[in-house]
Amino acid sequence: MKVKLVEVKDGVIIVAMALDVTERKQAEKEKEEAFSRLKSLLDEVVEAFSLAVEFRDPYTMGHQKRASELSVAISEELGLDLETIEGIRVASLLHDLGKAVGVPLEILNKPSKLNDIEFSSIKAHPEIGWRILKEVDFPWPVSEAVYQHHERLNGSGYPRGLKGDQIIIEARIIGVADVVEAITSHRPYRPPLSLEEALKEIKENKGILYDPQVVDACLRVFEKGFSFGKD
């Protein structure tokens, strides 16, 4: 209850004004609860999509999760805002979705070097993922980050040959995390390589293939003790 006194010539008039905020608070609470439910649902859908890739390709089981962990750590090291980091987390969990639906198993699991036709099939997976995810109204550039995660600074990447600032920061971060995780993991055609070899790859190609600031941030998070979580 707010009370205001208003003085007039013949005396004092008391004006009382009551403001009931109960309904407004209830509406705000319901809005927060609805947002929380939607976020939980989104997280569940993202996890399901991510698992779909890994169930189909056992050799990369856990790859997207580990690449996401590193992507988030790099993003935090760069000092990005929480919303951007959340978008990077989601995009990195889905970055290989196109493999699950667009690449034949015999190619994914081939224990030897791919020929040109087979590699062309692999190179199509970012666009396939983009075509699926662009239909989802994410509050972040998830589909574009998925589309660009194999692009490289000098234009040698795929599928569009983007260069420099044409590549969004989300894709630059996921691209580095993806490379480091992939090198240190088992593949049908080779055993896992050491973390030192993975970090050597990004250091030697810093400013050529990979964003220099992202590479430096990646190196720092490992220096600070980052390690990939267990599946």
* pLDDT for the residue numbered 33: 73
% of residues, the chain, pLDDT over 90? 58
Alpha-carbon gap, residue 23 to 37, rounded angstroms: 21
- pLDDT given for residue 6 in this prediction: 54
Residues 124/98, Cβ–Cβ less than 8 Å? yes
Report how far residue 224's alpha carbon sits from residue 85's, in angstroms, rounded to the nearest whole number: 19
Nearest to 215 by CA among 92, 74, 91: 74
Structure tokens at 184: 């240190």
Q: Are 210 and 152 in contact (CB under 8 A)?
A: yes
Q: Which range (26-30, 97-101, 202-206, 212-216) has the least confidence?
A: 26-30
Q: Give 55: exposed, middle or buried? Use CB within 10 Å, 0-12, 13-18, 19+.
A: exposed
Residue type at 132?
I
Please determine, for residue 218, whether its predicted confidence score (pLDDT) is greater than 80. Answer: yes
Q: How far is residue 50's CA from residue 45's CA, in Å, rounded to a whole number?
A: 9
Domain boundaries, the chain: 20-223
Q: Is the pLDDT of residue 28 over 60?
A: yes
Average pLDDT over the chain, rounded to an integer: 87
Position of tokens 């240190």?
184
Highest mean pLDDT: which range of 8-22, 108-122, 210-224:
210-224
Q: Which residues contact residue 182 at a Cβ distance below 8 angstroms, ignoring those fewer than 6 apart? A: 63, 67
**Collapsed DSSP state (helix, strand, coil) of residue 12:** strand
pLDDT tier for residue 22 given thresholds of 50, 70 and 90:
confident
Give the whole-angstrom CA distance, residue 56 versus residue 149.
21
**Three-class SS of residue 187?**
strand
pLDDT score for 162: 98
| pLDDT class of 16 with cuts at 50, 70, 90 | low
Q: Is the pLDDT of residue 224 over 90?
A: yes
User: What phi and psi values does residue 168 have, to the nearest 5 degrees?
Assistant: -70, 155
d(CA 56, CA 48): 12
DSSP for residue 28 = H
- Residues 195/227, Cβ–Cβ less than 8 Å: no
pLDDT at 46: 77
56-100 per-position pLDDT tens digit: 776 666 888 999 999 999 999 999 999 999 999 999 999 999 988
Give 20-223's CATH code, choosing from 3.40.50.300, 3.20.20.120, 1.20.140.10, 1.10.3210.10: 1.10.3210.10
> In this structure, what token pair is assigned to residue 211?
């964003």
Number of H helices, E strands in the chain: 11, 2
Checking if the pLDDT of 34 tops 90, the result is no
Per-residue pLDDT reduced to its tens digit, 122-150: 999 999 999 999 988 898 999 999 999 99
E strand residue ranges, 9-160 = 11-17
Nearest to 130, CA basis, from 156, 157, 101 = 101
